[in-house]
Amino acid sequence: MNNDTKIIGNKYKIIKEIGAGTFGTIYEGINIRTNEKVAIKTELIEDEFKLLRYESTIYKLLADTSGIPKIKWFGKDDTNYYMVIDLLGNSLQTLIDMKGTLSLKTVLQIGVNILTILMNIHDKGFIHRDIKPENFLLSIDNPKKLYLIDFGLSKPYIINNKHIEITCKNRFIGTMNFASINCHFFYEQSRRDDLESLAYILIYFYLGHLEWMKSEEEEEEEISNMDDENDWIKNKKLDIINNENIPRIIMDFYKYARSLEFNETPDYKIYIKTFIEKLEEMCRN
């Protein structure tokens, strides 16, 4: 892609690549009329998955939701689809890569932020289905403000005013390291699964690792049997309840997420309150 001349939508100029994933590439761009910096996500039109148009629709439906970047434009040319959204900063994964572990105070602050975002999107009738550190980005202007991105796997859990039914899928959906145990059994996801993924994030940030995470060397090895890996990770997650290094406040949240019924509305506010009260107690001591 020729970044010097590439103008999309008659006003967005692509500057440089800032990220790449399975389903597309993300660039930093600029609005040539206002000089506002933006993020531009691209997807090849010939790509069989066609997730970007769907994702742009989700962003539009979540417009004005706190913690969700604003979509500015969606369109295409002869080769690509393009989605333009707010430009954000580093991901929480970048933060943990730099620091190794985070203090309980910082972990709980992140927990309050993410729980609030999940409450907001769930209130709008959507589940994310791929909650992981890479999908939470820091605001460039306010380093304490978090945004959730990447809604390609998101879906409504309320259809025609009814909660979706629990079913068994024929494939794994999400990211194995942070997916709920129910995902490993291929069950349909609901609000509880987003919360369980958050619990794994909080554990990961506090401990600096998860027992089922592989090293870079192991990741490079060819996986001979995905079913074996799925079962291995699932069993490791089932055993996490015995990990005495996890702070009680995080373990209690994990147990709560695991206890939720498929169509149960989580009590987000009680855990936001619990985390905030613990933070206040830590500040007093």
Residues forming the active site? 130
**Length reported for the chain:** 285
Residues 94, 24, 149, 157, CA torsion sign: negative
What CA–CA distance (Å, rounded) separates 25 from 21? 6
Q: How far is CA 92 from the centre of its chain?
A: 10
- Residue 168 gets which letter from DSSP? B
Residue 250, C-beta contacts closer than 8 angstroms, at least 6 positions apart: 107, 111, 199, 202, 203, 206
Hey, what are 221's tokens? 């090895």
Helices (H), the chain: 51-61, 92-99, 104-123, 181-184, 191-207, 216-220, 226-238, 248-259, 268-284
| Other CB atoms within 10 Å distance of the CB of residue 99 | 12
Strand-pairing partners, residue 82, are: 42, 75
